Amino acid sequence: MLRHLLLLCALIAVLPLLVSFRLQPATVGREALLYDVRAAFVAARSDVPPVLVTETDRLVNEAILSTIRQRVLPRTILTIRIDRLTSPPTLLGGKRAATVSVEAVAVGNGEVIAEGSFEMSVFSFRRNAVDLVLADRIAALIASEFQLASERRSTLATALFSSR
């Protein structure tokens, strides 16, 4: 019994120390992928639907044009490549999966200063709209990663719960 009481007292004494301990996020003070993006170019192979390429280009460039930076940052141009596009069979609607690579190229010397790739998969009940949905998701992810001011399209949740 005494042993349990001592263990409880030790736990109560140590508990405030454990509760006050916090790990700081690794990204504190670091602004990854923050550049003054001047333009974006989207490219793809000939088997990628042109509407996917043009809509992705339009959405990313709209986000770039609506972004205002308050301080001087390295000026870059984004080159976006839709490397691989697949259309898995579905019973209802349409599905697309794409592999996209992005490079941030310095305006001053043409050197690649950042690069990365990601995979994106979307589903739409309207088979003919799946390319537009994929373009929107690709552009939204790029805008998020490069902290561009993209105008988000309204969804049912934002329409119902928005304060505007």
CATH classification of the domain holding 131 = 3.30.160.150
Whether residue 2 is contained in a domain is answered as no
109 φ, ψ to 5°? Answer: -125, 0
What would the pLDDT profile of 37-77 be if each residue is shown by its tens digit? 999 999 999 999 999 999 999 999 999 999 888 888 889 99
pLDDT the model gives residue 153: 53
The answer to whether residue 133 scores a pLDDT higher than 60 is yes
Indicate the length of the chain as a whole number: 164
CB 43 within 8 A of CB 81: yes
Nearest to 83 by CA among 119, 36, 110: 119
DSSP helix, strand, coil percent of the chain (3-state; round to 5): 35, 30, 35
Token pair for 55: 């809509």
pLDDT the model gives residue 40: 94
> Among 1-10, 28-37, 53-62, whose mean pLDDT is lowest?
28-37
pTM given for the model = 0.71
Whether residue 21 is contained in a domain is answered as no
Expressed as residue numbers, the domain containing 122 is 36-151
Residue 48 CA to its chain's centroid (Å): 21
Domain count, the chain: 1
- CA 153/CA 159 separation, integer angstroms: 10
What would the pLDDT profile of 93-131 be if each residue is shown by its tens digit? 889 999 999 999 999 899 999 899 999 999 988 888 899
- CA 125/CA 120 separation, integer angstroms: 17
The answer to whether residue 84 scores a pLDDT higher than 70 is yes
